[in-house]
Structure 1
Amino acid sequence: MKGLLTKDFRILAGQKRYFTIIILIAAIFLCSGQPAQIIVGYCTMFGMLFTVNTISYDEFDHGYLFLFTLPVTRKDYVLEKYVFMLLCGGGFWAVSAAAGFVADYIRGDVVSLLEWLMPMFLILLEMTIFLAVMLPVSLKYGMEKSRTATMILGFAVLGAAIAARKLLPENFAGGLRWSAQLNPAAVTAVVFLVSLATLAVSFAGSVRIMQKKVF
């Protein structure tokens, strides 16, 4: 798996223009006073999506045929994608959350660190679920067909977010603090457990897909 991770990180290092654009857009969001949640969600999503994009590099020019002549099993390949996803997405989440916290702190929008962190954990959960769906879909149908699924899923998530906002009580949406509504330790535990369960189901499905795949 170390060799596969090295391969994907080398691909990552070759995408400097891609990441420059992400950083510039995030910087514009920061300077324009956008909430940290938008910046963190944006950066985390693109960081995790790069994991899915590496599959297209593996598919190109019969890349799978070469990869599996190496001492790498199909389960190892799938496991590496999930590890790479967590490293990549987690790294982008941590860096963007730190930048967002500094910006919000300077603007005086941070009252409590735990209160500020809870929406960030929920963003991480949403992105994890999104990628847990996209990885097996991309492995089964390939990158071209999975782009349609990505659009459908993206619109579904957006619709769910709008619906949830409409259904929230007015006093909650009107500004009641997260700390008054939720226990920080409970939120962290729920996010961790749900993410772990989602990844476990997704990983099992991805392994089965790769075992049946014919190259």
Structure 2
Amino acid sequence: MRFLLFFICLTGLFAKPSLFLLEQAISKAYTRFYAKYPFKIQAIKVELASGNLSMLDQILKVASPQDLQWRTQQFLNKEGVLSLDQKIWIKYNLNASIGIYKSKTMLRKDQNLDASNTYSENIPFTHFNTLPIDASYINNSSARSFIAPHTILSIDRVGPKILIYKHEIFSATLKEGPLFLETSLQALENGVLNQVIQALNVRSKKVVQVRITGLLKGEVL
């Protein structure tokens, strides 16, 4: 009986280094994927879904834990199954947290995201259908459609920042020969960076094509 207990403990000691290497590899992969987010892993549980520990040790002599075969979709879940050298299958489960952004109020279609209508929150990392937005989207994107209050903002729900809204008056440059003239126009539609929109010269009532170059700025084509 004592010998059996000793053997089990000894086997556990030898097994730990291999599983620990896999834990490190999984931790690095997730941390790298969520590098733009406040992402913290508290614990990782790794176990074999198929194969055995001796086979794992043999594979790790020639292969690296970094050779785990990932699909991007897997990073949206806290748990999954990975293959190492198509011979060993590893099952893992993460205990982690992540910082995300939510809508503070109802967001209208084409409304720009900023600190007044969004807020950050740290939540348990479990599962996402689509990757949530990171901090770089705030002040640089707009809602693609109506979004209810306190909704997690994901990349499929947002589009480029609206730089000129329909009916707004903006400045546009017009090239005439070697000269560049500046005029004021009224937007006939919303516009994002580099988009070509129609605009109205209020004085002449002429409709022109304008490329958006910045906030309330454009270039007459």
TM range (shorter): under 0.3
The structure showing larger relative contact order (alpha-carbon pairs under 8 Å, at least 6 residues apart) is 1
Structure whose CA Rg is larger: 2
Which TM-score applies when normalising by structure 1?
0.21
Which TM-score applies when normalising by structure 2?
0.21
Which has the larger strand fraction? 2
